[in-house]
């Protein structure tokens, strides 16, 4: 039996998208591929509000997250850490042989503009990594305010992960001055995993030119060169690019404003359910994510038993990530999820909770 996914990634994929992946194959050096590649790229630019270069990489998000530090950190990187994914990004940066510091706040806390200012004012850094929406803790950091600070540091290249937020709210890449915006597709975009999207500003590409050890697979300059021909350096995951093509069409058919409003409504619904049932929240109010809600298990519910029961009923439940497993639970409301799906899920949780 298929368990309907309410975990924060991978998320449920629409049948229409799965069908798009079953289309006949083309060669990536055939003109047919370039047509799809170009259309996808142009639609991504619309979605991201950017005129920067937009590239498609065949990997999960961490491939490009690693690639970005290899391409863009020349001197020293500040890795802002407030959860499992951002902590790991610091580790990855170090493993790439880069000079880097973890600028840590407690899990559940946001990265604030004040912290970014304080860090960058030291003058030690020429790049930062930051996760907009920390999926492990359900915290969304205030990107527009952080962008204000970044504007004062034109020599610092910003590498921003929007894996679990892109398309759920407006993230205008150029207006925010993001040099490299990265996301995988299995979360907020609701596609099967295996494809990552990233942007590179002129400043980012200029930086890459002077950085040694970029490797090959994620060399931004290889991507830029292939992109001139609406192509990728190596064979891309063509089926997934078909799926992304279809998904972008569906996103614009829904309308961006409606999509953003839907995510807001879903978040509000789940938050009120959490409060009504007497649970707390892991993040503080203004920083609660729009795409997943991280509840605090203040009632001491046996979450692993709940997860088993929900699994048997056909729903995949998340009982917390890493060191906050059991202490928290996460309900995803990203991608193509509709209010009907959430109502069905919350009703199922209520049913199972009553029987615990």
Ligand X SMILES: *Cc1c(COP(=O)(O)O)cnc(C)c1O
* Positions in the binding site for ligand X (CB under 6 A): 9, 60-62, 85, 131, 133, 135, 161, 163-164, 184, 187
Residue 59 or residue 231: which is nearer to ligand X going by CB?
Answer: 59
**DSSP code per residue over 62-108:** HHHHHHHHHHH-SS-EEEEESSHHHHHHHHHHHHTT--EEEEE--TT
Q: How far is the CB of 65 from ligand X (least distance, A)?
A: 6
- Residue 329 CB, nearest distance to ligand X (Å)? 16
**Nearest 10 degrees: CA dihedral of 306, 314, 189, 216?**
80
Nearest approach, Cβ of 351 to ligand X (angstroms)?
29
- Would you say 119 or 164 has its CB closer to ligand X? 164
Q: Which is nearer to ligand X, 331 or 348 (CB)?
A: 331
Q: Which residues make Cβ contacts (< 8 Å) with residue 342, sequence separation at least 6?
A: 266, 269, 270, 333
- Mind giving me the DSSP string for 106-137? -TTPPPPHHHHHHHHTTS--SEEEEESEETTT
> Minimal distance in Å, beta carbon 234 to ligand X?
18
**Cβ at position 294, least distance to ligand X in Å:** 12
Identify which of residues 68 and 131 has a Cβ nearer to ligand X in the complex: 131
Closest C-alpha to 241, from 31, 48, 5, 41: 41
From the number of C-beta atoms within 10 Å of its C-beta (0-12, 13-18, 19+), residue 21 rates as middle
The minimum distance between CB 62 and ligand X, in angstroms, equals 3
Sign of the dihedral through C-alpha 344, 339, 183, 111: negative
* Nearer to ligand X (CB atom), residue 66 or residue 126: 66
Nearer to ligand X, 320 or 348 (CB): 320
Cis before 175 (ω within 30): no
- Min dist CB 133 to ligand X, Å, is 6
Name the residue nearer to ligand X (CB basis): 85 or 345.
85
Residue 113 phi/psi, 5-degree rounding, is -60, -35
By the 10 Å C-beta count (0-12 exposed, 13-18 middle, 19+ buried), 249 is classed as: middle
């Amino acid at each position: 039996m298929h368990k309907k996914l309410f975990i924060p990634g991978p998320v449920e994929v629409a049948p229409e998208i799965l069908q798009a992946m079953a289309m006949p194959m083309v060669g990536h050096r055939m003109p047919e591929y370039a047509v799809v590649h170009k259309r996808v790229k142009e639609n991504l630019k619309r979605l991201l509000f950017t005129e920067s270069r937009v590239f498609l990489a065949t990997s999960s998000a961490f491939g490009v997250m690693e690639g970005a530090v290899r391409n863009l950190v020349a001197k020293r990187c500040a890795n802002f850490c407030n959860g499992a994914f951002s902590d790991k990004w610091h580790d990855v940066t170090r493993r790439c042989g880069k000079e880097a510091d973890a600028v840590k706040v407690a899990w559940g806390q946001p990265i604030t503009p004040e912290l970014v200012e304080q860090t960058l004012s030291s003058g030690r850094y020429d790049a930062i990594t930051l996760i907009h929406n920390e999926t492990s803790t359900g915290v969304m950091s205030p990107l527009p305010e952080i962008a204000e600070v970044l504007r004062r540091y034109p020599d610092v290249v910003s590498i921003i992960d929007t894996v679990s937020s892109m398309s759920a709210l407006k993230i205008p890449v150029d207006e925010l001055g993001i040099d490299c915006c990265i996301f995988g597709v299995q979360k907020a975009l609701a596609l099967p995993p295996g494809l990552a999207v990233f942007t590179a500003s002129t400043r980012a590409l200029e930086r890459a030119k002077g950085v040694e050890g970029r490797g090959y697979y994620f060399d931004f300059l290889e991507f830029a060169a292939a992109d001139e021909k609406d192509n990728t350096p190596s064979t891309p995951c063509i089926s997934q690019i078909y799926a992304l093509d279809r998904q972008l069409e569906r996103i614009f058919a829904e309308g961006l404003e409606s999509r953003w409003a839907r995510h807001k409504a879903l978040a509000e619904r789940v938050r009120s359910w959490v409060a009504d049932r007497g649970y707390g929240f892991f993040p503080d109010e203004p920083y609660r994510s729009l795409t997943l809600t991280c509840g605090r298990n203040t009632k001491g519910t046996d979450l692993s038993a709940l997860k088993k029961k929900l699994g048997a009923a056909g729903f995949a439940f998340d009982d917390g990530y890493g060191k906050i497993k059991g202490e928290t639970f996460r309900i995803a409301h990203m991608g193509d999820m509709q209010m009907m799906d959430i109502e069905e899920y919350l009703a199922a949780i209520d049913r199972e909770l009553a029987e615990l």
